[in-house]
Every structure is written in structure tokens, then in C-alpha cells.
Amino acid sequence: MGAALTDIAGLDAHLIDCRACPRLVEWRETVAREKRASFRDETYWGRPVPGFGPADASLLIVGLAPAAHGANRTGRMFTGDRSGDFLYAALHAVGLASQPTATRIGDGLELFGVRITSPVHCAPPANKPTPQERDNCRHWLDAELRILQPGLRSVIVLGGFGWQSLLPVLDDAGWAVPRPRPKFGHGAHVELAGAERPLHLFGCYHVSQQNTFTGRLTPAMLESVLSDAARVAGLPRSPDERDARSI
């Protein structure tokens, strides 16, 4: 398996067959079988959900885990639920996505220099993976980070679970994570020294309905973090700027 994990396509192809967490395999497949009434005519994905976005992304967004009737249904990160609606609208607003909506694989959505992943790739009951499940899934995040590493300039972590999961992985991959480890907070920004170049790590509240419906996380707050992370990642922010760079 090691040789195939040196590129994103190989990583994703292996990931979608993973059955390492019995509780999550049972849950993702039960949800896919029983379905929510409003999606009863759809075929749920019901498998591990791979990262979404280009293999040469310079900005990585790290969430928590797929939602039962969102990504576990559609097979693409943050696609088909309210959290994704919020995230992709903001990505589009700051010029990092081709459209503001994400409904299904094949809907035309493209991310510009951004990849989205999670420390746990299967939908967990109540959106709460166990520490063991997080640890089981860690090698996938580790492999993804190592593949992205040459071009990676910034990472946005959505929520404390992702933050705690990611720091040891960044440490192992060779970035200098300070001791004591930096604390998660919305607006946190830490620059980690690396062998080649620094990595900018940003904290942002998760785009869960719990946060977005209550106004704890507003579109302006998310767009501000996205803009800061895109700027330090050197990403173009408009179609004109993208076209100019590709000439």
C-alpha cells in the first residue's frame, strides 16, 4: 500500500475501501441503507469520504468528519448539507471556488488551490468519533499531508477536534509545532517553521449548524479567515488574477 500512497489519486483509491473502525463501518452503512426520508430515492455513498480539491493545493481546510446525510450520502466533503452550503458560499465569495453551491459529485464545483479533508473519514454517530477512531484514521491524514507538503503554505482548521488531531501530524511531518502546543481558538494564527518554508496555521469555528445558526460563526468571520489564509498561501483571489497567472 505504501507506494500507492505517494499520490493523491492512489491515496483516495485506497481510502474508500478502509474498514478499520467497526463502529463507523456499521454506522455509515446503516445510515446509507435506511436513509433520511427526503433522500429515499438516492443511493448513498456509505463509505469513507476522501479529501476534495487539487493535489497541488497550497491551502488545506481540515474539518472533523463526514455528516451522515451530507458527505456520507454524496461522497464528497461537505457536500449536500447546511454546513457545506455555508462553507462553499464563503469559498466562492473570496474567489476560491467556482460556484457557491455543492450538491453532488459532478455538479461542476471546482476549488482553486484549496483542498478540504478531515481527520476522520467516516461519518460517526452524533458527529463524535472516539479517540481510537481518530487514531485509526490518522495515517490517512499523515499520508495526505506528506503528499501535499511540497506546495502547502497554509492550513485552516475548523474546530478544536481537527486542531488537536492535526498538530501531532504536522509535528511528525517535520513542521516545528511549539511546546506547549498552541491552543485552538477562532482567529488563532500560528506560523510553524519547516525545513523548506513556514506553514501558516489558522483556527476557525466549525461550520456546523450549531455555530452558524446561532451566529457564533458568521459568513464575514469565515471569509476573513479564508482571505487571510489564501493571501499567505499566495493564491489568486479573482478570475482575472488567476487568468493573468496562467498566461
CB nearer to ligand SF4: give 143 or 192.
143
Within residues 107-136, the interface with ligand SF4 by CB under 6 A covers 120-122, 133, 136
Closest CA to 48 of 113, 114, 144: 144
Backbone angles phi, psi at 160, to 5 degrees: -70, -35
> What is the spatial distance between Cα 138 and Cα 65, in angstroms, rounded to a whole number?
12
Within residues 9-68, the interface with ligand SF4 by CB under 6 A covers 15, 18-21, 24-25, 48
CB nearer to ligand SF4: give 58 or 118.
118
Residue 121 C-beta: closest distance to ligand SF4, Å? 4
Q: Which residues pair with 202 in a beta bridge?
A: 156, 189
CB nearer to ligand SF4: give 116 or 137.
137
For the chain, how many helices (H) and strands (E)?
Answer: 9, 5
Residue 77 C-beta: closest distance to ligand SF4, Å? 13
- Helix, strand, or coil here: 246? helix
CB nearer to ligand SF4: give 20 or 232.
20
Contacts of 101 (CB under 8 A, 6+ apart): 85, 88, 89, 107, 109
Strand residues in 102-186 grouped as ranges (E): 114-117, 154-158
Residue 31 C-beta: closest distance to ligand SF4, Å? 13
Residue 25 C-beta: closest distance to ligand SF4, Å? 6
Please work out the total of residues on this chain that contact ligand SF4, with binding judged by CB under 6 A. 15
CB nearer to ligand SF4: give 78 or 205.
78
CB nearer to ligand SF4: give 24 or 156.
24
Asked if 85 and 101 touch (Cβ cutoff 8 Å), the reply is yes
Site for ligand SF4 contains 137 (CB under 6 A): yes
Asked if 63 and 77 touch (Cβ cutoff 8 Å), the reply is yes
Instruction: Give me the residues that bind ligand SF4 (CB under 6 A), please.
Output: 15, 18-21, 24-25, 48, 120-122, 133, 136-137, 140
